[in-house]
Amino acid sequence: MAWSIAEVARMSGVTARTLRHYDEIELLPPAWIGSNGHRYYEERELLRLQQVLVLRALGVSLSEVGRILASQVDELEALRGHHRQLLAERDRLTALAATVSRTITELEQSRKDGRPMTGINRPENLFEGIQPAQYEDSLRDYPELAEEIGRATATMTEAEIEAGQRERTALMIRLAELMAAGTPADADAVQAEVDGQYQAVAALRPLSAEEYRAIGRSCVENEQWRAAYEAITPGLAAYQRDAIEAYATTRLT
């Protein structure tokens, strides 16, 4: 039995654009291409796609996924290995849930005592369990950009990752204070913060307006990102998304 690219996209949640990209980089060629030019996939390709998605969920870059799949001999043994990694990822997510829970407790106490949000003891704790490579999962419609970000973050040291976590947390707190003050998302003060974010990512390469909008949408659509924003103050994830939308519209188009 064979499935069209549209059917595989529907079943897997991977866009047809991404599936075509996987074919172009020889990561997941279709079983055959019909006379109409459409790609078709059989069971073997679906199993390979499952492995690709499992490895991507574990934060493995596309280039490394290709190397892993090319070197494996026994599919069953490979799946056992993926299973072990998923169990480890489950433990990481448990740690992430504990991080968000701890932040909620600290914020509740902070508000009870009348202290400002910047009273959080260790801001980097907000991002414990969140890895920079998670940009990739949120940019599936832009696989080339995701791959470039993945390559850059894979070379970061622990100190660089922690510094980035602290800066992202500080930014989130500054945005929360602007939102609490009633500052519109397209105001100059907010846009200055967003520009700093854009420049950090664009250091890899310039982003198009749509690519940056995709990052903005991820603040709401990516569960872990949204949890981190909402742990600071409700509505912050949407505020960040709207701020990025305004930036992309006024400065990147």
Tens-place pLDDT, residues 107-141: 677 667 766 544 444 444 444 444 444 555 556 56
Q: Is residue 33 domain-resident?
A: yes
**pLDDT at residue 132 in the model:** 45
Same domain, 64 and 124: no
pLDDT per residue as tens digits for the range 2-52: 899 999 999 988 899 999 999 999 999 999 999 989 999 998 899 888 888
Average pLDDT for residues 215-238, to the nearest whole number? Answer: 83
Does some domain include residue 77?
A: no
Q: Which residues contact 228 (CB under 8 A, 6 or more apart)?
A: 100, 126, 127, 130, 172
Within this chain, do residues 64 and 95 fall inside the same structural domain, yes or no? no
| 67 and 120 belong to one structural domain | no
More confident residue, 7 or 57: 7
Residues 64 and 94 grouped into a single domain:
no
**Residue 195 — pLDDT band, cuts 50, 70, 90?**
very high
Amino acid 161: pLDDT: 66
In whole angstroms, give the CA distance from residue 248 to residue 207: 10
Q: Which residue has the higher pLDDT, 201 or 19?
A: 19
User: pLDDT tens across 138-173, in order?
Assistant: 565 666 766 776 666 667 676 776 666 667 777 887
Residues 97 and 67 in one domain: no
Residue 207 lies in a domain: yes
Torsion of CA 13, 14, 17, 22, to 10 degrees: -160
Structural domain of residue 197, as residue ranges? Answer: 86-251
Reported confidence tier of residue 207, pLDDT bands at 50, 70, 90: confident
Identify whether residues 48 and 91 lie together within a single domain.
no
pLDDT at residue 63 greater than cutoff 50: yes
CATH, residue 17: 1.10.1660.10
Statement to judge: residues 162 and 38 lie in one domain: no
Q: Stretch 169-193: mean pLDDT, rounded? A: 88
Mark whether 24 and 111 lie in a shared domain: no
Q: Are 166 and 223 in a shared domain?
A: yes
Whole-number mean pLDDT of the chain?
Answer: 77
Residue 80 within any structural domain of the chain: no
Residue 81 lies inside a defined structural domain of this protein: no
Q: Assess whether 150 and 62 both reside in one domain.
A: no
Q: Say if residue 119 is in the same domain as residue 225.
A: yes
156, 236: one domain: yes
Domain count, the chain: 2
Asked if the structure places residue 78 within a domain, the reply is: no
